[in-house]
Amino acid sequence: MSAGVDSGPDAGTDATTRFFEPGSVSWKVIGHPVALIGGLRALIIQTMHPLAMAGVAQYSDFRRDPLKRLRGTSAYVASVVFGDRETALAAAARVKKVHERVRGIDPVTGKQFSADDPETMLWVHCTEVHSFLAAYRAYAGHLTHAERDRYLAEQVVAAELIGLPRAMVPDSVASYRRYFADVRPQLCVSDTATATIDFVARPRLSARTALDLRLAAWTFGPAAVAIVPRDLRRLGGLPERSRRELPLRAINNVAWRVAPLLGHLPVLSTVLDGWAIRMVGETTVKLALHQVRARDPRVGSRPRSHR
């Protein structure tokens, strides 16, 4: 049984219980704002799997409306990790319904793709889960090896919710390392993938996009690139290291450690909440930020209504 979670997504019927409890490492990692950077890192790496990229290219409007994609993904992750069982199961059911429609032929390999293919789902799951961990370790704080193992074991339940069998899913640092080594020969970068990676690394948002959101994108994109593994940077045509990277890491390390502590100031708390809602949506803020605040006095006051 994974630490911090029950034995599987069907265990228990009480909607007040959760798959992930407040004491879990998942709450610690995914409840931190740097999870946004992890999500962008995941997108960069996910594009390098041709069948996963084919689904994004043919069915997603990510480049036209990146905030819509960010809000949708954030709401799903928050529902699973911070919601009660009923909320998590409903979110997973919606995702599986969408996956049923995403299928076609990948123009790069000529192979059929479908979003509900177990290998593709596993790739998306592993890159996302691992990227949240990478962002936390780079910009938020230290985790022991045991905590990292526990986090990855906890996240097996998230994979089960979308239909993956437990035995298929890596559940430790060592098994993740083996999984990524096994998949590495399958990775390649198409022209569409290159365009998507470039959009994340060097976002060009409309002038109509609010200035604070554009500034966030210009900060988060390079921060995500900075924690992509070196060999995947080379594959994706990204610089192995840039002159901006060390200052960027230093700034992010300070900013992301200080930001959660500012919530105890009512004015700043309100400003940060408003920005977060516009960035990732109200659902995510209610489930994630407010859930964490309610249990950690260092992060600020009790939840307030934004209606």
As a whole number, mean pLDDT of residues 124-153 equals 96
Q: Is the pLDDT of residue 119 over 90?
A: yes
Is residue 277 very low, low, confident or very high in pLDDT (cuts 50, 70, 90)?
low
Lowest-pLDDT choice from 4-18, 50-64, 65-79: 4-18
Q: Is 179 exposed, middle or buried (0-12, 13-18, 19+ CB in 10 A)?
A: middle
**97 Cβ contact partners less than 8 Å away, ≥ 6 residues apart:** none
Is residue 131 very low, low, confident or very high in pLDDT (cuts 50, 70, 90)?
very high
Is residue 64 very low, low, confident or very high in pLDDT (cuts 50, 70, 90)?
confident
**Joined tokens for residue 94:** 């919606």
Q: Is 18 left (phi over 0), alpha (psi -120 to 50) or beta?
A: beta
Distance (Å, rounded) from C-alpha 298 to C-alpha 10? 34
Q: CB-hemisphere CA count at 13 Å for 289?
A: 31
The whole-number pLDDT of residue 256 equals 52
Which pLDDT tens digit goes with each residue over 48-57?
Answer: 999 999 998 8
The torsion angle over the Cα atoms of residues 128, 39, 20 and 265, rounded to 10 degrees, is 160
Length of the chain: 307
Q: Is the pLDDT of residue 145 over 90?
A: yes
The whole-number pLDDT of residue 11 equals 42
The whole-number pLDDT of residue 294 equals 53
Q: Is the pLDDT of residue 219 over 90?
A: no
The whole-number pLDDT of residue 290 equals 55
What rounded mean pLDDT belongs to the chain? 80
Which pLDDT tens digit goes with each residue over 203-216?
Answer: 776 666 666 667 77
* Cβ pair 119, 179 in contact under 8 A: no
